[in-house]
Structure 1
Amino acid sequence: MKKMITKEGRFMRRVLVIEADRGLHLMIREALEQEGWHVVSAYSLREGDLRLSALIDLVLLDVHVTDGNAYVWRERLRERLDLPVLFLTSCELAVNEATGEPLAGDDYLMKPLAFNVLCARARAVLRTSRHEEGIVWGGGPFRFSFSTMRYYKYGRPLRLSLNEQKLLKSLVCAEGKSVSYETLLQDVWGDQSAHVGRSALTATMKRLRMKIEDVPSHPEYLQTVYGIGYRWNGDGS
C-alpha cells in the first residue's frame, strides 16, 4: 500500500468529526491534521448527515450531541454506509443508550482526550475495518481508491474500465511527473505491451478523458507531454 502523505492531492485518510464543543473540536482537528488526516467538521448530527458521503473513512462522534441520540444515529448510518465509528464520551462507563449494553473498548474514547491516544486509536480502528484498504488519492474534485476500484468526481462515481483504471493509477502515482508512453504501455498491458501499439494507449486515454475532464478536448488533468507521454495534473492548474 502506498504510504500516506499529508498534503492535499496525495494519499490521505478522511475523517468526519462530529463534536459540538468548538474549542475541543478545533484541538481534535489540529491533532488529526498533523497526523495527515483530512478532517471534515460537523457540530451536530444534522450537520454530520449533510457532510456524510462514501468518501469518509472514519467517524469520530461525541455521544453528548444535543440534537439527537448518537447511538441511534450510528445505527441509521450503518443502513447507508459501512463506516467505523469511534465515540467520544465523558462517562466512565460508556453505555449504548439505544440498547443499554456497554460499548466495546474500541468503540469509544474517554474525555478529556489525550490527542496522541486519539490519533493512535483512530488508526487502529481504521486498520481493523475494511476502509484501511480504501485509503485513497484525494485532490481537487477527485477521490480515487485504487485498491477498492472506486473513483469519484465531485462525489459522483465514475465508471472506469480495467485498462482505464490501470492508466489512471500509473499517472496519479507518479505524483505530477511525466510518464513515458513505454512505461504506460507496460503498466496497462503488461507482458502484452510489446504487441500493443501506441494507438491503443491513445484510444484508452481518449476514453479516460471523456470521464475525467470537464472539457475532454482541452484536458486540464490528463495532460499530454509531447514527445514523452502523459502526466497527471491533480489540481487542474
Structure 2
Amino acid sequence: MRLLMVEDDDRVAAALRDILIRHGFTVTRAAGMAEALEAIDETVEVVLLDLGLPDGDGFDLCSSIRALHDVPILITTARADLRSRVHGLHMGADDYLVKPYAVSELLARIHAVTRRSRVARQSNDSAGRQVRSLGLVIDLGRRVVRKDGRELPLTRKEFGILEVLASERGLVVRRERLLSQVWGSSWGGDQHTLDVHVAAVRSKCGTAAIIETVRGIGYRLGGV
C-alpha cells in the first residue's frame, strides 16, 4: 500500500517511516504543502497529514487534496482541541488522530479508513465483475464462487478472504489487512483464525494453489 506522509519534522518522519515500512507500506514523504501537492497522484492509497507545515496551512492542504482526489486522509497532529478536530473533518479528512499516539492505534486507523474507501469503491465497481483463476470464477458482484458451473458453499468470511485477494490480484495482502477487512471489530485476536479459514477455502475450492502463502507477510491469489 502506498502512503503519502506529510510531516515537516525530519526526526519524526524518519522514525515513522521505518515503522510503516516494517508493516508493509511504501512510504513517500513530503515536508510541506508544495511537496505534497506534487507527490499526490492516483497511486497514493492513504495520506497521513500533519497540520504544522512550513509553507502553508495543513487544513488548506487537506481541502486541496480532497478537491483533487478521493484518497483517504488521516490527520495526525498535536492539536487536540475540539474546534480543530471538527474543522479537519469538515475540510475533508476521514479521521483525526492526536499526537502522541500508540503505533497500534495509528495502524488500526489507517486500515480502517482504507477499508472504508475500498468498500465504497468495490460497491461501485464490482457489480458484474468476475475474476477467473485455476478453473474458479469469483463473482464479486453476486459474492459467490463457482467451479464447473457449480456454486461452492463458502461462508461469508471465506468469500471475504477471496474477495480481498481477488481485488488485489497478483499482489501480496498482509495478514493484518485481511483480518481487519474480513473480521473487523469481531476479530478476537487469534491469528490462527485466519489460517483455519484459508485452509477451508483451499479445501472447498479443491486446490491449495488458489491462495498462495507468502511466509512472514501474508497471502495472494494464486494462478495469476
- The TM-score, its normalising length taken from structure 1, stands at 0.48
1: CA distance between counterparts of 2:32 and 2:2?
Answer: 18
Q: In 2, distance between residues paired with 1:66 and 1:86?
A: 19
- 8 Å contact 1:94–1:108 — kept in the other structure? no
Amino acid of the structure 2 residue aligned with 1:124: A
SS of the equivalent of 1:59 reads strand
Which is higher, the Rg of structure 1 or of structure 2? 1
The equivalent residue for 2:26 is 38
- Residue 31 of structure 1 deviates from its aligned partner by 1.3
Q: Find the partner of 2:5 among 17, 21, 29.
A: 17
Please name the residue that 2:175 is paired with: none
Structure 1 position 58, deviation (Å): 0.5
Q: Quick one: which amino acid aligns to residue 25 of structure 1?
A: A
Structure 1: which 5+ residue stretches go unaligned?
1-12, 135-146, 150-161, 171-182, 193-230, 233-237
Tell me how far apart the structure 1 counterparts of residues 108 and 71 of structure 2 sit (CA, whole Å). Answer: 18
Number of residue-to-residue matches in the alignment: 139
Paired residue type of 1:16: L
Structure 2: gaps of 5 or more residues: 138-146, 150-222
Shift of 1:91: 1.9
1:129 corresponds to 2:117: yes
2:41 aligned residue (41, 53, 56): 53
Q: Structure 2-normalised TM-score?
A: 0.51
**Equivalent position SS for 1:29:** helix
The alpha carbon displacement at 1:110 in A equals 1.4
1:42 Cα shift?
1.0
Higher relative contact order (CA 8 A, sep 6+): 1
Equivalent residue number for residue 211 of structure 1: none
Tell me if the contact between 1:88 and 1:111 (Cα under 8 Å) persists in the aligned partners.
yes
- Give the aligned partner of residue 119 of structure 1: 107
Sort the Cα spacing of 1:132 and 1:49 in 2 relative to 1 into closer, same or farther, 3 A.
same
Is it true that 1:74 corresponds to 2:62 in the alignment? yes
Counterpart of 2:161 in structure 1 is: none
Instruction: Return the offset for 1:133.
Output: 5.8
| Closer, same or farther: CA 37–102 of 1 in aligned 2, 3 Å | closer
SS at match of 1:54: coil
Q: Which residue is equivalent to 1:95?
A: 83
Q: How far is the alpha carbon of 1:81 from its aligned partner? A: 0.6
Larger relative helix fraction: 2
Identity score, percent: 29
Deviations 1:117-162 (A, max 9, x none): 211111112112237868xxxxxxxxxxxx969xxxxxxxxxxxx9
Distance 1:23 1:16, change over 3 A: same
Residues 82, 93 of structure 1: alpha-carbon distance in 2 compared, 3 angstrom cutoff: same
Contact 2:73 2:94 in 1 (8 A): no
Return the alpha-carbon distance in structure 1 between the equivalents of residues 43 and 54 of structure 2.
Answer: 26
CA separation in 1, counterparts of 2:89 and 2:24? 28
1:92: Cα distance to partner? 2.1
1:95–1:103 Cα contact (<8 Å) kept: no
3-state DSSP of counterpart to 1:129: helix
Contact 2:9 2:31 in 1 (8 A): yes
Query: What is the aligned-residue RMSD (CA, Å)?
Result: 3.5
